[in-house]
Amino acid sequence: MAQGQKTAETGKSSLPSHDVYTVEGEDADKSFWTRIGSAWPHADGKGFNLALIAVPFNGRIVLRVRKEAGQ
């Protein structure tokens, strides 16, 4: 998966703002989270572009704000 996307305005690479996960299991203590991609916000703030490396069987996709390295 690419580390960044080129923005339309600057042509520079930017890191994704969110990570994309699939979550299996209903019990919060026993849920299994698997990272399946990244998300970048649209310039107008009204949506996201997703880059997925897998698609969940259960159809459940979760977006979480990306953590900085070392957090």
Distance CA 47, CA 60 (A): 18
What are the C-alpha distances in Å from 39 to residues 6, 13, 28, 33, 52? 13, 14, 24, 16, 9
How much is the CA Rg of the chain, to the nearest whole Å? 14
Per-residue pLDDT in tens (0 to 9) along the chain, 71 residues: 344 555 555 444 589 999 999 999 888 788 899 999 999 999 999 999 999 999 998 888 999 999 876 55
In a domain, 1, yes or no: no
Q: Record the pTM.
A: 0.73
In a domain, 61, yes or no: yes
In a domain, 5, yes or no: no
In a domain, 4, yes or no: no
Structural domain boundaries, residue 32? 14-65
